[in-house]
Amino acid sequence: MYGTIIAVNQRQLDISAQDKIYQAELSADLAKPTPGDQAEFEPLAAPSVLQKGAGRLIQISKAQLPQDIAWSGGNYVEGHQVQDMDSSFELCTEGADFGQCCTLLAKKAQEAHANALLQFKVEFVKRPLHQPRLCRLSAVPAQIKGEVYKPEPGISLQLPTKFLRRNSPNNAAVRYRIVLLICLLMIVEPCLASLTRQGLWPVIIGEGLMAALPIFCLAAALLSNPRRLVFYLRKAKRGPLKA
């Protein structure tokens, strides 16, 4: 089975495969991976709602990133000079699939006339009661010049400021759903109480519905786990980068 490494804790790896989480131990003959790398493993125990599955790691391969743009976890790309960079903003993508997030991030960087993504970071966000993780990527767009990558002549970076957000769109969707459920509760509960007083149904049924509705809203809020593929721009939390 193949999956994406989402967390590295000493010699323990968390691997996401088919929206399930497996844990495997890193053997001494394998190099320590980073989140986003691909893993081949043999499942030993199936995961449950509250517990991760177990697996035996076979091999690890580096993440397959789009090659038409440079990727770097640092402030530079070896053999290239940074020509233009705005370190006050980060391009971000998030969704259910690491590969799709990488493809979208590269596409949006090229639309901004960047040919490099610096300070590239991978994060897999876990929500309570959910095994599937939200993949979130962030990077600083830049124009670099060297033997492999060259910027477009006479065109500077053009960041898509219309996509500027202060928070994650998927996190905002969770809060939006919670607000909708609270509004539903505040509207429907008085209606149920009024209909019960009018004798539309037996009192025990009305009280049961009124008791079940808050439980339903709470369960719906806890089970909400949006992982829509989205792109956005955010202000960098760290200080300015040095080219």
Span 155-198, pLDDT tens digits: 999 999 999 998 899 999 999 999 999 999 999 999 999 999 99
Q: Which residue has the higher pLDDT, 43 or 130?
A: 43
Q: How far apart are the first and last CA of the chain?
A: 41
Of 19, 38, 61, the position where a domain reaches its end is 61
Which range marks the domain in which residue 20 is found?
A: 2-61
- The answer on 192 and 119 residing in a single domain is no
Q: Which residues is 95 bridged to in the sheet?
A: 135
- Between residues 205 and 31, the one the model is more confident about: 205
pLDDT of residue 201 exceeding 90: no
**159 and 112 in a common domain:** yes
Residue 85: inside a domain, yes or no?
yes
Given a contact cutoff of 8 angstroms between Cβ atoms, the answer to whether 107 and 91 are in contact is no
For 60-89, the pLDDT digits (tens) are: 998 888 988 999 988 989 999 999 998 899
pTM given for the model:
0.81
Q: Give long-range contacts, CB 8 A cutoff, 24+ apart: 136-139.
A: 136/92, 136/93, 136/94, 136/101, 136/168, 137/92, 137/93, 137/94, 137/98, 137/101, 137/102, 137/105, 138/90, 138/91, 138/92, 138/234, 139/71, 139/90, 139/91, 139/105, 139/109
pLDDT of residue 169: 94
8 A C-beta contact, residue 66 and residue 103: yes
Number of domains in the chain: 3
Residues pairing with 43 in the sheet: 55
- Residue 243 within a domain: no
pLDDT tens digits for 40-52? 999 999 888 778 8
How does residue 242 score in pLDDT terms, banded at 50, 70 and 90? very low
Total length of the chain: 243
pLDDT of 243 reads 44
pLDDT confidence of 238, banded at 50, 70, 90? low
Distance in angstroms (rounded) separating the CA atoms of residues 97 and 134: 8
